[in-house]
Structure 1
């Protein structure tokens, strides 16, 4: 997992063995005044008092203190903590609350415990607006309660996989953080409907929520949440098997501004709920209904009529979808960029031909396990407007009718970055080499089963198995 470095947001694959020391010295905590802005009373931190007149450091004497503070604002967590140990004056500047408006503990998730979060909350106070504790499994309700009381200007909070958190955390956030806009509580198993009810009653500015894999959440919590958060634009509920059509009715009724809806694995979803979403949520741009096995072409036909701005559709594993639904969708939704049709086993070349003809912005297309797809589909795709302009990813795993001719048809796809060809038995190494000669930057993922060796001649028993190599 890679995260873009911006300000103090962290970037890292590994995990550090030492938690950044954020408990060094008092700092300006950004306490809010009655008008919602940091207090400017005489008791607050004064820039003019940071440095003494006898300070001998050249940088401290030459640069204005405001400029030094601005420089520190570009440093990440580790650099800020190191600067804080240089001198008393730098300690004050580095740990100033204005430098800690956005904090991501991804690199330190193993070591971050409740004490770190509590110290951070007391130091940053009203300055902190964006905090990610994703994967910090040692953090509990007590720390988040302290955090909510001190950081009441928080807008974005990521608590993904903080498995010790319960409804108490969301109730504290609802009580103290009315400006909360984005909340991720996915993979927090103890969370129940009580959390959604508290948020629905007290966080009207909420625009995005992720409750994926929270198995205890039901339609009752979704109903209260949607009633109170009419501005909700992003609703992610992967793996919430208790949610069905009634939950979709509430989303469609109270949150017509929904743009992103992810219902992957919500196997109780049926066409009735999806029709309501399509009819009432015309701004929908991203829809994932993968593994919602009851959905049929009725949903696609309704999306084609009511959701012309659809950009991404993920419907992997929906074995009831046919060419009729996808052809209608392609003819109406011309902004489609990403399509995941893996294991939509009934679709044929007709669907791909329509997508190629009517969707010039297509970037990513997955046709894996669509066993009726032939070279004719790829021929249309290779000669379409999207082929030379936008197409970057094509997945054709387990398409047994695809041959080297398909690779020849793709040679005009100059922006193609990746193609998947696992278990395409009619694809050869020679075909892949020709494609790579024309598109040297494309990554080809393929697998060729080892050739079965002929039976040994003679009646003597082999001393070594065929896979052994003697040096």
Structure 2
């Protein structure tokens, strides 16, 4: 039995269900709780129903990781069953992902808080059916929190940050109900010294004041401030990023950033692996050449829609730095040009 169980540990959910149909002995083994410490139902999002959670709850005594992302479309899962599942099987959870799940409402949020005290990762991307986000501040052990494109408010986000000083990864990109993103950034700088990545994409209320506060996060490796237009009038705040561990930096559409701002950053970004300058029109070929030469670990550079960067220059860089993927998209000046052959209707001859 131990040998069979050791093999079953490598099987996915569908394969385990098939094993349970072989005979009574296999059914007993395939129902062993040790096989259900980590459950990923994403591959089956199109067919998972509430009854699946009812059946699993009898097997998940030691469940630690659960991914229900994308499940529950067309009302196939009701929040009542999710609440009951968490009540009976969620006490040991450390990782929970419910991205794009319409069944996540206020009752589910409260069930998460009431049952899963040890959560280290909580991902609720694109969940827009909740209003009581502040209850998540009762969780105190979070290391990763993904609230991308949710309706969380400023006060709720700030209280959650203050309750979780061990936070390492935070995504509050495109959270339009956060009207003062600087307050969130200030809380991160004051309370989360271990912060490694933060995504503020399209946070229109974020300013240089909030970004400067992140200078206190010496372990910061990834920062996305793309389309944070209030921070885009100038890039002087780049000098505040002093940790030296920065690996990914997204500056898309921040048109106020210039060569001088990036040059100040260079000595502190020796580990930089990815730099997004999409739409940063003031950058010149000179600073890009310096970045390619000095950032030895760089693997991706995006200079799309940078007006001063020509295709001929990009082709030269690609030859000189073959280990770096250099992206450049641009809008054709001649809109009457015939379409590329790739997009023409195929010949039937």
Which bin holds the TM-score, normalised by the shorter protein? Answer: 0.7 to 0.9
Give the TM-score, by structure 1 length: 0.60
8 Å contact from structure 1 (residues 323, 347) kept in 2:
no
Question: Which of 108, 127, 133 is 2:41 aligned to?
Answer: 133
Residue 129 (structure 1) shift: 0.8
Q: Measure the CA separation in 1 of the matches of 2:163 and 2:294.
A: 46
8 Å contact from structure 2 (residues 99, 125) kept in 1:
yes
Question: Which of 325, 328, 338 is 1:467 aligned to?
Answer: 338
What residue number does 1:264 align with?
173
Per-residue CA deviations over 1:209-262 (Å, capped at 9, x if unaligned) read 33333333222x752x554x5444444333332x32443465357655544443
8 Å contact from structure 1 (residues 132, 159) kept in 2:
yes
Residue correspondence of structure 1 range 190-201 to structure 2 within 5 A: 190-201=103-114
Question: Which of 377, 392, 398 is 2:279 aligned to?
Answer: 398
What residue number does 1:291 align with?
none
- Where structure 2 has 5 or more consecutive residues not aligned to the other structure, the ranges are 342-349
Q: Structure 1 residues 404 and 262 mapped into 2: Cα distance closer, same or farther (>3 Å)?
A: closer
Q: Measure the CA separation in 1 of the matches of 2:88 and 2:172.
A: 30
Q: For the pair shown, which has the larger CA radius of gyration, 1 or 2?
A: 1
SS, match of residue 329 in structure 1 = helix
Residue correspondence of structure 1 range 240-279 to structure 2 within 5 A: 240-241=150-151, 243-248=152-157, 251=160, 257-270=166-179
What residue number does 2:100 align with?
187
What residue number does 1:55 align with?
none
What residue number does 1:161 align with?
70
8 Å contact from structure 2 (residues 201, 225) kept in 1:
yes
Per-residue CA deviations over 1:319-362 (Å, capped at 9, x if unaligned) read 454445434533x332221111212343424223443xx23111
* 1:407 pairs with 2:319: no
8 Å contact from structure 1 (residues 319, 344) kept in 2:
yes
Question: Which of 428, 435, 440 is 2:322 aligned to?
Answer: 440
Q: Measure the CA separation in 2 of the matches of 1:249 and 1:451.
A: 46
Q: Measure the CA separation in 2 of the matches of 1:404 and 1:361.
A: 25
What residue number does 2:234 align with?
348
What residue number does 1:61 align with?
none
SS, match of residue 58 in structure 2 = helix
Per-residue CA deviations over 1:118-137 (Å, capped at 9, x if unaligned) read xxxxx344531111111523
8 Å contact from structure 1 (residues 180, 206) kept in 2:
yes
Residue correspondence of structure 1 range 308-323 to structure 2 within 5 A: 308-323=193-208
SS, match of residue 147 in structure 1 = helix
Aligned residues: 332
What residue number does 1:376 align with?
260
Give the TM-score, by structure 2 length: 0.78
Q: Measure the CA separation in 1 of the matches of 2:87 and 2:307.
A: 60
Per-residue CA deviations over 1:160-206 (Å, capped at 9, x if unaligned) read 11122122222222332132332222322133222233343344334
Give the superposed CA RMSD. 3.6
What residue number does 1:386 align with?
269
Q: Measure the CA separation in 1 of the matches of 2:17 and 2:78.
A: 31
8 Å contact from structure 1 (residues 208, 234) kept in 2:
yes
Q: Measure the CA separation in 1 of the matches of 2:250 and 2:299.
A: 14
Q: Structure 1 residues 371 and 326 mapped into 2: Cα distance closer, same or farther (>3 Å)?
A: same
Q: Measure the CA separation in 2 of the matches of 1:182 and 1:172.
A: 18
